[in-house]
Structure 1
Amino acid sequence: MSGDVASLLKAAKRALDRQGHPTPALDARLLLQRATGLSHEAMIADPDRQIAAAAVARFHEYLDRRRRGEPVSRILGEREFYGRVFTVTAATLDPRPDTETLIEAALAFMPRDRACHIIDLGTGTGAIGITLLAERPLAHAVMTDISLAALAVAHRNAESHGVGGRASFIEGSWFAGVEGRFDLILSNPPYIPSAILPTLAAEVRDFDPGTALDGGPDGLEPYRRIAAEAVSSLAPAGRVIVEIGEGQAIDIEAIFNARGFVPESRWKDLAGHVRCLGFTQAKAR
């Protein structure tokens, strides 16, 4: 069964729209591009172009997966983040646009003209650490994750973006196996309370790894670990910057304050929610 570009897109958009998908036209286009190998420009230039039966079959397979709730990024195996494309797999969290807030926060403290040593805790795809290395060519990063499979993805992403030579990867929980001190300690840790996980949207609940979502009974357990262990890993005048969930700022600031850190900054995401917190050690101020 064959079909032309315009007809396939129209039918797919209609099917996704009926199910309430928020971006049916975009989803349909991205899936058709992958199925056919055509660029967006090529599809615009020739909407009557006939698509071979094999490509149509692939497109319908992708469309069926999307209709069952699988995110487009999971179907494609990649996600754009801060202008770069990252491989994602079942072992990694799918990077969200909100996390770009953490990138902007970190870049403000990373000099362009000298070396900077950072650590990305619970790196997943490596999107945070790799993006910062790409933006600051003199920086070096350690990336940790409890999942060896996730670290393999991060390593591939680092190589594909040309920063592998300035990155090292350690399997372990938070600071386990890590030596030295860092100018920036960064993390987007799991922050969802365990009891909330079953209520999450299917796109998150069924496709992101649970270990990347589950923050313990109150969603704050990872922050307690990071605050406790960061004390001996932060360089003088260094900073800790963490991503947080909505409404968690006061509790997390208290956790870090109890470990001798001083809340320094809050950064909001595009929706106006506090998304990241920054801390220094009290003696560094």
Structure 2
Amino acid sequence: MIIDFLIKRLWKDSIRNILFCIILFYPLIEIIFYLKDIPLGEKVYYPDYSFFLMCNTAGTGHMFQALLLWFMPIYCLVLTADDCIEDYNLGLRNVIISKIGKKKYVQSHLAKSFIYTFILVLGALVINLVMVHIIFAGGQFSPFADEGNFASLFYQWEVNHTLLTNILFLIITAFMCGLIAMVGTINAIMIHNKKIVYGVTMVFWFIPFLQKKSLMYLFQPHSEYVLDTLLPIGVTVSCVYIVYILFGYFKEVHFGKTTI
């Protein structure tokens, strides 16, 4: 399959391999900051409250989450979209299109970017979740002062099903990262100019981040935000990304030039 070929080609680049491994194991670094406080008499967090997406690490200003999630479009572009720009600059794009067709070329790159990014982010968060359950097994401390005062039925469900909540939010996070990877890829296919591609893709990511009802809310389980807040954010941002991806897809497949 063409997707297999494209993913295998990514693995031939040592820089991409290094970045892949860094992202895959990066969430584990935060565990060190939980561990260093234990000898000082700090209480051990309940495993699910030590999860990476909880943003609990005191004194860091959520630095660990910011470094991963704020700059996710850049990581996605390096990992899954730069090869589209390389194909264009090296003149390989038309060679590949002549063999498989433009429709399949665009579809394969979009599928590759989503699958690759989704699995990477999902894997990184699952590894972190498994490790906190192993390392902090038996921990009882909760960062929430009073879990008896439930802000909503959804929050009550989160407190009663902490592991399921973390799994739900890590899937949502991986899905949104997969979508922004597709946005970056369709930009790379349409625009070809690396600086513009990176700039436009970051705008698509940061505008929802900077809204009053921020996209970041979707990446934080056990928060005060209720479904009435979270669902509109997720649906709106997803729809905007999907419509833009479809626009770029039809533009390239049905109206774009085949030759360079």
TM-score with structure 2 setting the length: 0.26
Higher relative contact order (CA 8 A, sep 6+): 2
The two structures have a TM-score, normalised by structure 1, of: 0.25
User: Which structure is higher in helix share?
Assistant: 2
Higher relative strand content: 1
